[in-house]
Chain A
Amino acid sequence: MTAVATSTLVRGARASRSTITLKIMMAGSGALFILYVLAHMYGNLKAFSGESAFNEYAEHLRELGQPLLPYSGFLWLFRAALIIALVVHVYAAVVLWKRAQAARPVKYEVSKRRNSSFSSRTMRWGGLTLLLFLVWHLLNFTIVKINPTGGETNNPYQLMVDTFGVWWMTLIYLAAMAALGLHLHHGTFSAAQTLGWTNTAASRTRARTAGWVLAVVVAGGFSLVPLFTLFGVID
């Protein structure tokens, strides 16, 4: 048993090396992802305006910022920011996950949850699910462009219609959106709390509401296109 002794106190404490700083990095990178999924969802909804509107939007993303930026310049800057944010987000998650496991070396025989939401308890495995989905999603639409029907791959609209015309592909995407909705539901509130914005009961309620709204709007908005494609409204 260690006696209370001043020799065990930390010397030269640095706020930047704390677990809270890791959480702030996680909240900041998460905030960028929130902005990104909102913009991405808006782009997807262009599918309801037809093939030309959808493909023009995709092309327009590459022309953004021209002539100040080169072709695809803005897109690559944005991608670079997202990649850095992803590395930061995953790094912080891994460090904190390992820390949490070490902080409870012996598990309880009986453990009863009193207050935590389902979404808050699934942040880590849900996040891992999203990471795996992200790999598939990029292979599907960006890096390799895999058309499950073996059809055209260089027409973004056709690739999308062919993909979501396959029922199990739509199911994979819907499951991923459920994971995203859960992640956003707790992640939004948690980020606000981590950034120190929830100091009153009213601001805490607002942060929880924002989590609900983002989860429903983003997961719901993303799910519209696969569903309407599967049922033949978009073709």
Chain B
Amino acid sequence: MSFAVPATLEARLDELTTHYPQKRSASLMFLHALQEHFGHISDEAVEWTARKLGLTPINVHELVTFYPMFRQQPLGKTHVKVCRTLSCALAGSAEVRAHFCEKLGLDAHAHAPQTTADGKFTVEFVECLAACGSAPVVLVNEDLHEKVTAAKADDILRTGK
């Protein structure tokens, strides 16, 4: 798949650059826009951003890797975000994530988000989803699932195709 930024998007980003005293300050806005358009930030997107803003690719790469919500790989169709902040952690979110991983054949000990080989599921730990009262919680795409147990997790996997 070749990397091509639509002219309208490029024009919007060029205009955006003028809002900042330094071009470099527009880096995050560029990355947000590119992720929104392409679904993830590819190496080509990093190089394109660096070229546009007069930076070296490593400068942009630092940003992309610093923020966990910038995605370097395409996400699965169903995106399972398991909360790991205190309430959920106490209520067993680690087990919930391990269950998801096990069912999907992923490594439960890995640090970063993982996507199944068929591209259907991505599982990752995230920080607080602001539903501590019903921990552990899982956000599947845009839907919040509360008090998630192994059985509920299996339901989620069944429906999320």
* Binding partners A and B: no
B interface list, Cβ under 8 A from A = none
A interface list, Cβ under 8 A from B = none
